[in-house]
């Protein structure tokens, strides 16, 4: 009886491990680097928008030039943002008001507002490095 339980438990464990190893055919993991003029983007964002409008939008953070995002399979428009701090301002017109940074987009519009970037996302792992130019 005890041997049957051990065999049953081992079978369940192997089945669960096999299922965990199966890929998600509706999504891909897109990761890589983002550089501007050869320098890693310190902080920013990456956004994936389906060209056909049939799947979800996905996005994530760029930190120290790296990103990793779970993205629906299909052809995506890719938008990259790299805010640059150009000043500071008070949130409220009071003496003790917190101060927040004033930022502007450091990348040309062809990488974000009017993106020309595309990526065909496949199931599983997708590696894509973006080497952008500021001009």
Tokens of 110: 């062809």
Q: Report the mean per-residue pLDDT for the chain.
A: 86
Q: How many CA atoms lie within 13 A of 124 on its CB side?
A: 2
- % of the chain residues with pLDDT over 90: 80
Domains and CATH numbers, the chain: 24-132 (2.60.40.1120)
Cα–Cα dist 40/101, whole Å: 21
Q: What value does the mean pLDDT take over residues 110-129?
A: 96
SS3 label, residue 13: helix
CB atoms within 10 A of CB 17: 9
- State the Cα angle at 78 between 104 and 41, rounded to 5°: 45
Residue 4 above 80 pLDDT?
no
Whole-number pLDDT of residue 113: 94
Q: What is the residue whose two structure tokens read 């060209």?
A: 51
Q: What is the residue whose two structure tokens read 């003790």?
A: 96
Q: What value does the mean pLDDT take over residues 69-74?
A: 97
Model confidence, pTM: 0.76
Whole-number pLDDT of residue 23: 52
């Amino acid at each position: 009886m005890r041997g049957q339980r051990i065999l049953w438990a081992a079978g369940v464990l192997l089945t669960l491990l096999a299922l965990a190893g199966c890929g998600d055919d509706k999504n891909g993991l897109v990761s890589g680097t983002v550089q501007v003029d050869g320098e890693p983007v310190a902080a920013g964002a990456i956004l994936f928008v389906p060209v056909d409008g049939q799947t979800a939008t996905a996005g994530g953070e760029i930190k120290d030039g790296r990103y990793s995002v779970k993205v629906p399979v299909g052809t995506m428009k890719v938008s990259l943002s790299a805010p640059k701090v150009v000043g500071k301002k008070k949130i409220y017109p009071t003496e003790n008001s917190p101060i927040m940074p004033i930022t502007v987009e450091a990348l040309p519009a062809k990488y974000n507002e009017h993106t020309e970037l595309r990526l065909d996302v496949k199931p599983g792992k997708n590696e894509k490095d973006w080497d952008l130019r500021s001009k």
